[in-house]
Amino acid sequence: MPQNELTPAMAFTGLLLQNHPDAIAWISGDATDSTLNGSVKFYQTSYGGILVEAQIFGLPDISVPGSSNFYAMHIHESGDCSDHFSHTGLHYNPGNTDHPDHAGDMPPLLGNQGYAFSVFYDKRFTLQDIIGRSVIIHEKPDDFTSQPAGNAGNKIGCGRIERFV
């Protein structure tokens, strides 16, 4: 590929630099993880998929110097983050597939002393599919095997996906 040809990565970087997502989920922790906060942003791309950018602060390993840990992150069916996130339903799974092939299954977050940053591209859902649903962060990594949801433990963070205006 010639060096002056636009690649998807170059286009994605441009979207991130504009910092104007099409949708956003503002993440908050539950009572136990009250310092957990951040955002998950969703950008429509010219490639037919969605660019997802997550920036999360206050993950449980924040007080352990030099620590790192993985945390599962999923889109769940409902955007109702009330009552310790107990009303968010199951993983968003319109194709009725096994885990980890749900449309709502996302790469894990790698927290480093409480902070995680991740960007990835996904073609398994559209913006219209996810508006009103929630992004959930779990206390443990997803094992990518256990059914129906990866044995990722308790929900420690939640945010409703809304259009960004």
- With a threshold of 0.75, does the pTM exceed it? yes
> How many alpha carbons lie under 13 Å from residue 81 in its C-beta half-sphere?
21
CATH number of domain containing 121: 2.60.40.200
3 found inside a domain: no
- Domain limits for position 89: 8-163
154 found inside a domain: yes
22 found inside a domain: yes
Mean pLDDT of the chain: 93
Sheet of 134-138, strands arranged across: 73-76, 134-138, 155-163, 23-29, 37-44, 50-57, 116-122
Mean pLDDT, residues 68-85 taken together: 95
**∠ Cα 156 160 161 (to 5°):** 125
For residue 82, the model assigns a pLDDT of 96
- What 3-state DSSP class applies to 154? coil
pLDDT tens-digit profile of 122-131? 999 999 999 9
Q: Work out how many domains the chain is built from and give that number.
A: 1
